[in-house]
């Protein structure tokens, strides 16, 4: 047991803690407990890369999954040397999603007009005040596809699976610890 960190800590604090472990000679291994439904792609990728830097020092990284270790949580976990899950842990959910409300009709019903002044064509992309254009939807699809391919590439490396094998598992579904073990997403139950 090196330190206890709880969910109240920011990404920078987590990165700082992992850098401390990476640079210190006193730590020979680290156990990271993840209980998270996921998060943003950038934060997940930063934590994943921090774990890889720890491993480059020769230290072992053991991941202990809690109730939920899904999506970005699984992304982070896949960098570990050993992943432990409970039989009923909910994990996987490998994929990328973007959603936001569109309240244009509600505004019209209420008699609210939204005025947008912008510097460029796409500056208000994702605005909740109007339905996205076909072109904007294609831009979003490109972002999702790129982020998803980075996710799958990284977890494939971590799990020592081909990307082809991982894409079969990475369809957004949630796995229990039992099924994750059968599919090679975790190493042991316990």
Q: Are 185 and 175 in contact (CB under 8 A)?
A: yes
**Residue among 90, 68, 64, 83 nearest 188 (CA):** 83
Q: Please say whether the dihedral angle defined by the alpha carbons of residues 164, 94, 98 and 43, taken in this order, is positive or negative.
A: negative
Q: Are 18 and 47 in contact (CB under 8 A)?
A: yes
What one-character-per-residue DSSP string does 55-123 give? HHTT-EEEEEEEEEEETHHHHHHTTSSEEEE-TT-EEE--S--------HHHHHHHT-------SSTTT
SS3 for 166?
helix
Q: Are 179 and 88 in contact (CB under 8 A)?
A: no
Q: Is 23 a catalytic residue?
A: no
| Residue 185 DSSP label | S
Spatial distance between the Cα atoms of 107 and 116, rounded to a whole number of angstroms: 14
Tell me which of 36, 64, 71, 78 is the catalytic residue. 71
Tell me which of 23, 60, 123, 141 is the catalytic residue. 123
Q: Is 105 a catalytic residue?
A: no
- The residues annotated with a catalytic role in the active site are 71, 123
């Amino acid at each position: 047991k090196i330190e206890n960190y709880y969910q109240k800590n920011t990404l920078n604090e987590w990165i700082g803690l992992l850098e401390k472990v990476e640079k210190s000679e006193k730590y020979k291994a680290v156990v990271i407990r993840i209980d998270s439904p996921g998060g943003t792609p950038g934060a997940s990728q930063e934590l994943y890369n921090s774990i890889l830097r720890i491993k480059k020092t020769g230290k072992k990284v053991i991941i202990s999954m809690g109730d939920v270790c899904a999506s970005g949580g699984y992304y982070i976990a896949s960098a570990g040397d050993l992943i432990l899950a409970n039989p009923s842990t909910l994990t996987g959910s490998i994929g990328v999603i973007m959603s936001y409300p569109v309240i244009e009709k509600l505004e019209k019903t209420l008699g609210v007009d939204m005025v947008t002044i912008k510097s460029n064509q796409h500056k208000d992309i994702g605005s909740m005040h109007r339905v996205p254009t076909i072109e904007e939807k294609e831009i979003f699809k490109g972002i999702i596809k790129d982020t998803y391919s980075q996710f799958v590439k990284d977890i494939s490396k971590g799990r020592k699976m081909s990307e082809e094998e991982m894409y079969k598992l990475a369809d957004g579904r949630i796995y229990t610890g039992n099924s994750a073990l059968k599919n090679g997403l975790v190493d042991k139950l316990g």
